[in-house]
Amino acid sequence: MNLHPAPVPQSFTGDFFRMEPLHPRHVELDYAAVMSTKQFLRAWSNSPWPQDDFTIEDNRKDLEWHYDEFVQQIAFTYTVLSPRGDTCLGCVYINPITRIAEASASESVLLNQSAVVCTWWLIHSLHGACQEQSFFKRLVAWLKTKWQFPEVLFANNPHTPHQAAIYRENSLQLWLTLEKNSRYQQLWK
């Protein structure tokens, strides 16, 4: 089943960034961003990823998996690059709501009313900077204007309070807090 039946956007450009589908050719840039932001990413993913011994080859496998999902329209992962494309600034993940696998029965009933969940991260040097706020505003606008989902949920967890602050600053409301601790524990709309 295709997550998005309409033509999928292949790029998006903002003042200080451009986005394109994450592809294995981005492995070096993505790896540098992941490893420079690994402490945050462990909190963000609520997991030990990326481990200290995470290799560029491990990263290549991840990128191949994400790109395959993109081609099959199962899920959509975008790399966030500098305007010249020489630095990875982060990633955006647009996933089917079914990725939230560990929801209770009552939570699942609520979740099934939505189509997708979006998560994202930027490199540590952009946290708290005006670029992070600008990026999120543009991301929300892009999802509303270029995609045809009836609703998009944004997710974070209690370990990423600065993302929750960005959501609040952009008039999103905490809609649901899942019982199970996960990267999707707090859902905003």
Rounded to two decimals, what is the model's pTM? 0.95
Which residue stretches of 10-88 are H helix?
A: 27-36, 38-45, 56-71
Domain architecture of the chain: domains with CATH? 12-188 (3.40.630.30)
Mean pLDDT of the chain: 95
pLDDT of residue 117: 96
pLDDT of residue 148: 80
Per cent of the chain over pLDDT 70 is 99
pLDDT of residue 5: 66
pLDDT of residue 149: 85
Using 50 as the pLDDT threshold, list the residues of the chain that sit under it: none
CA-closest candidate to residue 154, choices 145, 170, 32, 146:
170
